[in-house]
Amino acid sequence: MKVLVTRQLPGKWLDYLSSYVSVELWDKEYPPPRDWIIEHVKDKDGILVTLTERVDKEVIDSAPRLKVISTYSVGYDHIDVQYAKKRGIIVTYTPEVLTDATADLIFGLIIAVARRIVEGDKLIREGKWNTSWHPMFMLGTEVHGKVLGILGMGRIGMAVAKRAKGFDMKVIYNSRRPHNVEWQFVDLDTLFRESDYLVIAVDLNPSTYHLVNEDKLRLMKRSSFLINASRGAVVDEKALVKALKEGWIRGAALDVFEREPIGADNELVKLDNVVLTPHLGSATWETREKMAEVAVKNMLFALRGERPIYEVP
Ligand code: GLV
């Protein structure tokens, strides 16, 4: 069996994969060009991709032997799952193992933007801390005791809600349907109106594309913050820039963007009330190794005709 792998992975798991199948690896840091994928997937039984590779009809059709697409991610919006399934190809992903790392980062973003941690760090590095201590210097917003709104109460949403307990926050949420959980289900507009911190934890699909648009942002409190570590395109970024510039909300913390990577010329970079991180949700050594294990085992199990650990529903 032959497998195409589009990026080096941490730990021993690629070696493990190579001991069972023949692996062709794109070993650069940047993503492989699309033409390279199309050319090299031709004779493969499996392809192990990351979220930067678009696996659409064209890629799938260029691989007549393809049986498995294993993505090293929880999101699968970069894959045409419906078409793959129609072709009888199994699509697998890596949920659960990255839930806690992502929830940790989301909480970090909440605190960073509310307490102006990045702004403070920048001020010191630029040699601009010249007021010493002052009662009104760099005041931020409290986190404990506030209302945490969660859009999408899946695994990551629940892990964020769990962490909020330690901060005595009131948790409200909206998702496709109410869950039997201890937190309060509210309708979408109420979620936007009442949240002090609104965390986006939905996946990207046609129904969530630009779900956070100008109308929704206008519902939010002027003192509130938007936090996104799911997919950039859930938010209409142009509308968000307007909201941040015009003070409809107090700030935002973003780990994901409509087009990644963003450069220093992006409008968001010019704003002080935003904390930006480069898609780091699952980026810990521990989690990325676990993801490698799951992505590789998914691939091997599915190639053998056994049930993978996580098949995309
Ligand atoms: C990261 O964004 C992932 O989908 O795993």
Which CATH number characterizes residue 9's domain? 3.40.50.720
Instruction: Show which residues are catalytic.
Output: 231, 260, 279
| Strand order from edge to edge, sheet including 197-200 | 184-185, 170-174, 147-151, 197-200, 225-228, 251-254, 274-276
Whether the predicted pLDDT of 307 surpasses 90:
yes
DSSP letter, residue 91: E
Residues 199 and 254 placed together within one structural domain of the fold: yes
Say how many C-beta atoms besides its own lie within 10 A of residue 230's C-beta. Answer: 28
- Which range of residues forms the domain containing residue 66? 2-97+285-303
Residues 126 and 86 placed together within one structural domain of the fold: no
Q: Ligand 1: which atom is nearest the Cα of residue 98? A: 5
Give the separation between CA 202 and CA 29, rounded to whole angstroms.
28
Per-residue pLDDT band for 152 (boundaries 50, 70, 90) equals: very high
Say how many C-beta atoms besides its own lie within 10 A of residue 8's C-beta. Answer: 12
Whether the predicted pLDDT of 180 surpasses 90:
no
Does any ligand 1 atom lie closer than 6 A to the CB of residue 157?
Answer: no
Within a domain: residue 308? no
Output the pLDDT for position 61: 98
Give yes or no for a contact between 168 and 147, defined as CB atoms under 8 angstroms apart: no
Residues 113 and 237 placed together within one structural domain of the fold: yes
Whole-angstrom Cα Rg for the chain: 21
Does any ligand 1 atom lie closer than 6 A to the CB of residue 73?
Answer: yes
Helices (H), the chain: 13-18, 34-40, 57-61, 81-86, 99-114, 117-125, 155-165, 188-194, 214-219, 237-246, 285-303
Whether the predicted pLDDT of 181 surpasses 90:
no
Residues 241 and 295 placed together within one structural domain of the fold: no
Nearest CA to ligand 1 atom 4: 75
What does the pLDDT look like over 208-253, one tens digit per residue? Answer: 999 999 999 999 999 999 999 999 999 999 999 999 999 999 999 9
Number of domains in the chain: 2
Average pLDDT, the chain: 98
Does any ligand 1 atom lie closer than 6 A to the CB of residue 287?
Answer: no
What is the pTM for the complete model shown?
A: 0.97
Within a domain: residue 310? no
Whether the predicted pLDDT of 131 surpasses 90:
no
Give the separation between CA 92 and CA 286, rounded to whole angstroms.
20
